[in-house]
Amino acid sequence: MPRSIYVHVPFCEQICHYCDFNKFFLENQPIDEYLALCEKEMKLTQEKFPSQDKIETIYVGGGTPTSLSTEQLKRLLLSIKSHFPLADPVEWTVEVNPGSADKEKLAMLKEVGVNRLSIGAQTFDPKLLQAINRDHKTSDIERTVHMSREAGITNLSLDLMFGLPNQTMAQWESTLKEACDLPIEHISAYSLKVEAKTVFYQMHRKGQLSLLPQELEADMYEKLREVLEINDFQQYEISNFAKNGLKSEHNLTYWNNDEYYGIGAGAHSYVNGVRRANNGPLPKYMKALRQNALPYLEEHEVPVKEKMEEQMFMGLRKLEGISSETFYERFSLGIHDVFPDVIDSLKANSLLEEKNQFIRLTDKGLLLGNEVFEKFLLAD
């Protein structure tokens, strides 16, 4: 049974041009009723899938969780504690938008039990912040980091983006330097992906978006790895780097292909071998719960073949790779028995390597991850 829970807060004070997550403008939304129905979903979830293990990781994401008032956010966090048994210690992360969390809100997070923040910095360049439609200033990032530490929350992660429209290598190097100068323990860095249903997607279709050449984007990724290694951030996943072993235990749930609860509009869950997606539109999500029904849009029982594929896609994202022993324990089959030609071919092309019962991406493979992952799609 799951030992992790994700809770989605779909409200934002401003919509970023690149974001395709389930989100809505905060103004005039039925936030208090949404929070009450999230709590009802927690209750119904526990009745249908009662926790057999204590929850070891919690992640509250969005949207922008800190767009809620202090009392509203506290209500949501306390409802998690009242409906799920928590381990001691538990890794409890809340996403924070620079500038939207004041001292009072941060003190409340600490008081409730939150011990990790994911701060959506994205870039330290003012022009790029404006280009992606972020509503914070570069000075807000440093202020949020210092206020968080003063509140007693010291496990801090920054989200960064590269490959932004018209971004230069000099701008990227400057952002990396400013990030490394802050007292933080973790960095997640992602290249821009132009997703459907985003402002950037519409701009791209109209020829109004200047995307970077793939070669420059690859150089930015190499620069990221180089700078963070010099600054004592250990890479442990394609896009994630940690100091002092402070990896994101919650995200490792996904990369290890373990199960998790998902609460909120548009949230996904994986329980008892079934992947479920909640309704995203607020009216549909809320209507189901008003009728005392779980708000599922779709349910998919994952067949063994697909579980093995997912084990490879997700596990190879980790720098340590996939344990042959763990694979056998889950499926009673060896990796080489399931994917014999694929693994040999990728090793021959220097995209995979094998060491101490682990299969992992090479440095070359890290740059071509998606091409590697698609090779593990099994024929029907």
Average pLDDT, the chain: 95
Residue with tokens 């694979």, as numbered in its chain: 327
Q: What's the pLDDT tens digit per position in 335-380?
A: 999 998 999 999 999 999 999 999 999 999 999 999 999 999 986 6
Give me the pLDDT at residue 20, please. Answer: 80
Q: What's the pLDDT tens digit per position in 103-162?
A: 999 999 999 999 999 999 999 999 999 999 988 999 999 999 999 999 999 999 999 999
End-to-end alpha-carbon separation of the chain, Å? 28
Best CA proximity match to 158, nearest among 173, 172, 178 = 178
Question: 222 with 214: CB under 8 angstroms?
Answer: no
- Mean pLDDT value of segment 255-276: 98
- The 3 state secondary structure assigned to 35-76 is HHHHHHHHHHHHHHCCCCCCEEEEEEEECCHHHCCHHHHHHH
- Mean pLDDT value of segment 19-44: 92
- Mean pLDDT value of segment 82-109: 96
**pTM assigned to the model:** 0.96
Q: What's the pLDDT tens digit per position in 205-254?
A: 998 988 999 999 999 999 999 999 999 999 999 999 999 999 999 999 99
Percentage of residues in the chain having pLDDT higher than 90: 87
- What's the sign of the alpha-carbon dihedral 285, 298, 78, 94? negative
CB atoms within 10 A of CB 300: 12
Distance (Å, whole) CA 101 – CA 3: 28
CATH number of 4-255: 3.20.20.70
- Where do the structural domains in the chain lie, given as residue ranges? 4-255, 307-375
Best CA proximity match to 129, nearest among 181, 78, 174, 195 = 174
- Mean pLDDT value of segment 293-306: 97
Quick one: fold of 307-375? Answer: Arc Repressor Mutant, subunit A (1.10.10)
Give me the pLDDT at residue 379, please. Answer: 65
Q: How far is CA 81 from CA 78, 86, 87, 90, 155, in A?
A: 5, 7, 11, 11, 20
Give me the pLDDT at residue 337, please. Answer: 94
Choose between 173 and 370: higher pLDDT.
173
Give me the pLDDT at residue 380, please. Answer: 61
Report whether pLDDT(14) > 90: no
